[in-house]
Amino acid sequence: MPRMIITDNVVDVASWLSFKEERAGAIAAMGGSQVVDHVAEDGSNAVAIAANVDDVAAVLAGLASPPPELHAAMERHGVLPPLTVYIEK
């Protein structure tokens, strides 16, 4: 199971962190597990999510064209595109 890291910026880091459980649930719904949030040490609004994923292609497709509920969650969490995705090789 490869590890995936997704990076982006958010409107407000404290607000983004408050949605940790909802975000982990959304990633789990796409086949992800062991979801870990990271924030930039420099105090910027840069964040990252690391997760193990069953199907990389499915997660990439979901992020490229998010279904309405995922899109709404991303807006609620203050996610600012673009997202950058890294895959463990």
pLDDT in tens, 37-86: 999 999 999 999 999 999 999 999 999 999 999 999 999 999 999 999 99
pTM of the full predicted structure? Answer: 0.93
Q: Which residues contact 38 (CB under 8 A, 6 or more apart)?
A: 47, 48, 49, 50
